[in-house]
Amino acid sequence: MVRFDCDYMEGAHPEIIQKLVQTNLEQTPGYGFDSYTKNAERLILEACGLKNGRVFFLVGGTQTNVTVIDALLSHCEGVLATEAAHINVHECGAIEASGHKVITLPEHSGKLCADEIEDYASRFYADETYPHMVFPGMVYISHPTEYGTLYSLSELERISEVCRSRNIPLYLDGARLAYGLASAASDVSLQDIARLCDAFNIGGTKCGALFGEAVVIANPARMPRFFSIVKQHGALLAKGRLLGLQFETLFTDNLYSRIGSHGIEMAMRLKSVFKQHGYKLFFDSPTNQQFFVLPNHVIERLKENVSFELWGAPGHEETPVRFVTDWATNPESIDNLDKYLSEI
């Protein structure tokens, strides 16, 4: 079986496994106060061009989003996001369970529009009954988006401008950030993100780590006592060095960049295979998630040898599907996919 279900099917990049094995019997302080975690924070801040930022390491994506969003919002505030946002669709109401509302705006190829953020805020405060309503307390975006699309630098700058004019923090979910930064379609750098966002996460789980997300706080004044908030959410790993070691490795010798580049190379090759066989795109994604529309009989035959996801409920005659590549995808898998498509 050839698998393209997601980008977290394998364990971890061999360089990470090697580092974990080499240091396995070392005794270090817990909760991220070890030398590996401190060095990982230093390396990430250097890569981001941040002198006064902070970095905290959590285990998973939903856990990270809930913890960061709860830290950024007061009790009567909600978070602005697209209708398709991960926090709105695929986190089982985790934000609402923490006492905050996800306030949805239209999505444009998975992205928020700065003018619509401004329009929502303007209409909110123009309503004289607004003290009775959930305040727009922050903005959530993902890069890449849930559709694999990317914000341009100008789009990100405009959203940041609106957020700062309204004094609401901007949080970027970078669960697949390695692939976003590596895409040929991207003009956004890690330093741009650090300059324009109040906080963001650098994904590890989907980008070569066993597990882990690095929360970068560009503006620590926005999130005081974040360590304690992480603890309160049950997200503070006692063996914190397991996270620090992984991110230290990811940010040594450009490993994070190399991981992203490989995933993108494989994704573009996979896209080419489907296009050569005459299948149409559902979204034209420049990153490691690729979306196609396939006839249902093709899906049925292909699933005999290939594992992938349906993107939504099956249609009457055809259905959107998602194929995902990552740091470990090998060319032979795509060659096999090509062969199976040829046999249908």
- Transcribe 200-235 into DSSP letters: EEEE-TTTTSSS-EEEEES-GGGSTTHHHHHHHTT-
- Classified by CATH at the fold level, domain 14-254 comes out as Aspartate Aminotransferase; domain 2 (3.40.640)
pLDDT of residue 254: 98
Task: Print pLDDT tens along the chain (344 aa).
Answer: 999 999 999 999 999 999 999 999 999 999 999 999 999 999 999 999 999 999 999 999 999 999 999 999 999 999 999 999 999 999 999 999 999 999 999 999 999 999 999 999 999 999 999 999 999 999 999 999 999 999 999 999 999 999 999 999 999 999 999 999 999 999 999 999 999 999 999 999 999 999 999 999 998 999 999 999 999 999 999 999 999 999 999 999 999 999 999 999 999 999 999 999 999 999 999 999 999 999 999 999 999 999 999 998 899 999 999 999 999 999 999 999 999 999 99
By C-alpha distance, which of 291, 292, 293, 289 is closest to 264? 289
Residue with tokens 């999505």: 107
CATH 3.40.640.10 range(s) for the chain read 14-254
Order the strands of the 318-324 sheet from edge to edge: 280-283, 289-295, 318-324, 309-310
Helix (H, G, I), strand (E, B) or coil at 325: coil
What are the angstrom distances between the C-alpha of 14 and each of 177, 190, 316, 342?
20, 24, 44, 34
Neighbour-count burial of 189, counting CB atoms closer than 10 A to its CB (0-12 exposed, 13-18 middle, 19+ buried): middle
Element of type H or E holding 290: strand 289-295
Residues 6+ apart with CB under 8 A from 67: 58, 215, 229, 230, 233, 235
pLDDT of residue 312: 86
Half-sphere exposure for 98 (CA within 13 Å, toward CB): 28
CATH 3.90.1150.10 range(s) for the chain read 2-7+256-342
Question: Under CATH, which architecture does the 2-7+256-342 domain have?
Answer: Alpha-Beta Complex (3.90)
CA distance 236 to 239: 9
How many Cβ atoms sit within 10 Å of the Cβ of residue 122? Answer: 10
